[in-house]
Structure 1
Amino acid sequence: MPSALITGITGQDGMYLAELLHGKGYEVHALIRGQNNPKRALIETGFPYVQLHNGDLTDMSSLMRALRDSQPDEVYNLGAISFVAYSWENAHVTSDVTGKGVLNVLEAVRLHAGDDPGSVRFYQASSSEMFGKVQQVPQDESTLLWPRSPYGVAKVFGHYMTINYRESYGMHASSGILFNHESPRRGPEFVTRKVSRAVARIHLGLQDEIVMGNLDAKRDWGFAGDYVEAMWRMLQQDEADDYVIATGETHSIEELLDAAFGHVGIDDWRPRVRQDPRFMRPAEVDLLIGDATKARERLGWQPTVSFRELVAMMVEADLAEQKQLAGL
């Protein structure tokens, strides 16, 4: 039975990846930060097959303990402070966790593997936010990185550090440059879940409007469940490499609103949406669209959930949740 260690288990990707690996017969281990982590009970109840290890990406000793106790064949580093807006408020913390945290995990894996650096396969969750001020449309693995947020800068550090450890030490270390991917498990602070939850509540008469930032920003949105399949496929390759994972389609925030409101039969949604400068980014990333040709050709991967199917899935999940919470 192969063994895997996941950091970031409490995020949507961590949960979908744990399910995928468990279904493939893996022994699944995960790093979780803090004895009183508010999501610990969710993981323990919803994913009873996951063996939890207390640790922190900023604490090397805890990473070494987790590796010693789990003896993984594969390590998936999904842990990060991943909310872009927060990174401007706390650039230092974001850099320590999302950037230097990658270095800590890489070094811990290198030391754990000892004389056989390729014996533990490593996955780094890179991000399309690294492209930032895009220099090429669509973006692929060779596109110049120009991050436009402290989060993006931290991800670039982790991305290049992963390449450096692969080239310097012969580690089987791959990075997935994942474009935006969403699901009903997405945190409510992210724009897609903010929209799906608000639309559900407006439809049920529980709130009147949704307050948004820039409606013109465009993203390449896919389903998180599809994207964790790509992560696993990367670590099954003989040679480690970097891959863009994306749908190749771009949609604006306005289209997101149109699809979400349309799903509940509200065609004229503009009176229910108010823009507020507080929700505008200091430096916006205007157009992200990925070219996943390499992943399709080498990994045999392709997305299975369309944009409108994804939005419908999220709105339906939030309708069910809000009905239950409101006792409807």
Structure 2
Amino acid sequence: MKRALITGITGQDGSYLAELLLEKDYKVYGVRRRTSTPNYDNVEHIKEQIEWIDGDLGDLASLIEAVRISQPDEVYNLAAQSFVATSWPQPIATAQMTALGVTNMLEAVRIIKPDARFYQASSSEMYGKVVETPQKENTPFYPRSPYGVSKVYGHWITVNYRESFNMFACSGILFNHESPRRGLEFVTRKVTNAVARIKLGLQDELRMGNLDAKRDWGFAGDYVKAMWLMLQQDQPDDYVISTGETHTVEELLEIAFSYVDLNWKDFVVIDQKFVRPAEVDLLLGDCSKAKVKLGWNLEVDFKMLVTMMVEEDLKRLKVIQVTI
């Protein structure tokens, strides 16, 4: 039985990855950070199948202990301060977790289990002010937020450990990936949740920022399969994981509102508060390397993704209404 250690296991990606690994008969260990109100919503259905270890990316000693206990064959470092907007008011906290936290995790693996295979969650936000379109593995980075800058550090320190210590360390440069488990602060879930609330008479309007921003949006459940595939290869490498298509925020609104027979223009209000200090206008990934070398393929397209999210938010809110 293979053993996997996952940081960020209660998040969107971590929960889908844990499901995938459990289906493949892995023994799954999850690092959880102590909070006054633990949130297991995304993993409640598999919570008892996970071996929980207390730890924090900012605390090397706890990560060393986590690796010692789990003795993993594979380590997936998904934990981060992952909301771009929060990285401006909290740049230092973002750097400590999203950048230096990667070094701590790599050090723990190097010291205790150097033969473990390591996956780092890199991000398309590293490309930022893009210098070429589409973006490939060798496209130069030009991050436009403290989050993006921190992810660049995490990416390159992973490359450095691979080359310095001959560790099997990979980075997946994941473009935007969404699901019904996405946090409410992210634009896709903000929209689908608001659409469901408006349809049910719980909300009157939706305040948005830049509707022209284009993103390469995919389904998180598809993307975690690519993470696993990276660690099954003969040699470690980095891969762009994306759909190869872009859609504007306006398209997102159109699909989400039309699914419940509403016109988005009747409810959306532009609010400058939601416009970023430095905007990333276009992100589009070239995932051809992953498709060829990993044999990875997408199963959920953009329209399917958005309607799935609206439907799940409708179900969730209806249950809450009945309960109340």
| TM-score category, normalised to shorter length | over 0.9
Displacement of 1:48: 1.6
Partner-residue secondary structure (3-state), 1:327: helix
Distance 1:207 1:41 in 2: 24
**Letter aligned with residue 292 of structure 2:** E
Displacement of 1:199: 0.2
Displacement of 1:38: 2.3
CA RMSD of aligned residues (A): 1.1
Contact 1:234–1:240 (Cα < 8 Å) also in 2: yes
* Per-residue CA distance 1:77-116 (angstroms, 9 max, x = gap): 0000000000001000000000000000011100012xxx
Displacement of 1:300: 0.2
- With normalisation by structure 2, the TM-score equals 0.98
Contact 2:10–2:41 (Cα < 8 Å) also in 1: no
Partner-residue secondary structure (3-state), 1:5: strand
Partner-residue secondary structure (3-state), 1:196: helix
Report what 1:16 is aligned to.
16
Partner-residue secondary structure (3-state), 2:101: helix
Contact 1:35–1:54 (Cα < 8 Å) also in 2: no
Partner-residue secondary structure (3-state), 1:171: coil
* Per-residue CA distance 1:280-322 (angstroms, 9 max, x = gap): 1000000001000100000000111000000010000000011
Distance 1:178 1:2 in 2: 25
Distance 1:35 1:282 in 2: 30
Report what 1:126 is aligned to.
122
**Letter aligned with residue 232 of structure 2:** Q
Name the count of aligned residue pairs: 323
Distance 2:42 2:250 in 1: 33
Contact 2:158–2:171 (Cα < 8 Å) also in 1: yes
Show the 5 A alignment for 1:49-68: 49-68=49-68
Report what 2:260 is aligned to.
264
Aligned match of 2:277 in 282, 289, 293? 282
Distance 1:232 1:72 in 2: 14
Distance 1:270 1:38 in 2: 38
- With normalisation by structure 1, the TM-score equals 0.97
Partner-residue secondary structure (3-state), 1:317: helix
Q: Percent identity, please.
A: 61
Report what 2:92 is aligned to.
92
Distance 1:38 1:262 in 2: 36
Distance 1:171 1:34 in 2: 29
- 2:143 corresponds to 1:147: yes
Contact 2:15–2:42 (Cα < 8 Å) also in 1: no
Runs of 4+ in 1 over 4 A off after TM superposition: none
Distance 1:7 1:81 in 2: 12
**Letter aligned with residue 207 of structure 1:** Q
Structure 1, unaligned runs of 5 or more: none
Report what 1:302 is aligned to.
297
